[in-house]
Amino acid sequence: METYLPVIWAAVIGIAVVMYVILDGFDLGIGILFPFARSERERDQMIGSIAPFWDGNETWLVLGGAGLLVAFPRAYAVIMPAVYLPVIVMLLALVLRGVAFEFRSVARTSKAWWNVAFAAGSAVAGLCQGIVLGTLIVGIEVVDGAYAGGPYDWATPFACLCGLGVVSGYGLLGATWLVVKTDGVVAERARRHAAPLLLAVLGFMAVVSVWTPLAVPRIAARWFSLPNILFLWPVPLATALVAYRAWHWLRSGRELLPFVAAIALFGLGYLGLVISSYPYLVPPSLTIWQTAAAPASQIFMLMGTLVLLPVILGYVVLVYWLFRGKVREGEGYH
């Protein structure tokens, strides 16, 4: 039980993080693409495409954060101080972006300001999340189970690169989402933006894939030692195939498939990171077992989670089903 509980919890939190990154990813992407819209009507249409979903999407972030505290308090206690400033700035960016989303539709004179807040909040939140991710990949300095680094250890070129990578990835998710959910000028421009964003994402993925094994021997050993490489070589191949198909589908005017491909790219990238880091929750020193809460605590919380998580997932599916179809210009949810 003590062996499997942390694995189950890692899976639960992993699901919450994947759900968050994909779901909030595309609506943060709408904010990232906001500055490229030409008119208020286009912006309204973009907003309309995510209006029923966005705050539900964001709740996965809380589930991930609270889940980490509950199941892996020792990891929570190391990671949060290590990425103190990015996390706080991300939270404030999300707060500001959240209220901007709603206030811009009622504002009279200050609408332009709320547009700026929405776009900047979205981009900053994505950037901070990428920085947190990059910091986790290369590892956090831990002494005696506590964070032992300085307040700016996260400010590395690699983490900033990951930040830009996440921003471009969210932009890709947002652009392909707009291709699915809108039509007219907005959809056409989104399709044009999706292609360079796809290339940017592939570029960042390539750099991360080359950089991490070179900089971190642990990751090089994980991927290139025998027999691992025999099982792992399909991951980069699949990534290349998906990227190729995504490019093709964007060119051939497909609507849903580019979005699916963008999600698949995120999924493969995520899988790659899990392969690189497992079983470390705080690389390079703390595993999921070393950071796990007491089994009694994990079991107590798991009971409620296993009942409620499917209900929440079911509700997510229902909402997306009810709001299927395109949002046309001038037909926002308002």
Q: Which residues bind other proteins (CB under 8 A)?
A: 51-52, 55-56, 58-59, 61-63, 65-71, 73-74, 76-81, 84-85, 87-89, 91-92, 94-96, 98-99, 101-103, 105-106, 108, 145-148, 150-151, 293-294, 296-297, 300-301, 304-305, 308, 311-312, 315, 319, 322-323, 331-334
Cβ distance to other proteins smaller for residue 30 or 250: 30
The string of DSSP letters for 302-334 reads HHHHHHHHHHHHHHHHHHHHHT-SPBPTT----
Round to whole Å and give the CA distance between 74 and 143: 12
Cβ distance to other proteins smaller for residue 89 or 271: 89
CB of 93 to other proteins, least distance (A): 9
CB of 318 to other proteins, least distance (A): 9
- The strand pairing partners of 143, in sequence order, are 146
Round to whole Å and give the CA distance between 133 and 11: 18
Cβ-Cβ contacts under 8 Å for 282 (sequence gap 6 or more): 75, 78, 79, 136, 139, 140, 142, 291
- Backbone region of residue 254 per phi and psi (left: phi > 0; alpha: psi in -120 to 50; beta: other values): beta
- The answer to whether 86 and 131 have CB atoms below 8 angstroms apart is yes
Cβ distance to other proteins smaller for residue 106 or 210: 106
Cβ distance to other proteins smaller for residue 206 or 294: 294
CB of 302 to other proteins, least distance (A): 9
Cβ distance to other proteins smaller for residue 67 or 174: 67
CB of 220 to other proteins, least distance (A): 30
In terms of Cα–Cα distance, which of 98, 154, 148, 146 is closest to 129? Answer: 154
- The answer to whether 181 and 217 have CB atoms below 8 angstroms apart is no
CB of 104 to other proteins, least distance (A): 9
Cβ distance to other proteins smaller for residue 150 or 203: 150
In terms of Cα–Cα distance, which of 120, 122, 119, 135 is closest to 85? Answer: 135
CB of 253 to other proteins, least distance (A): 27
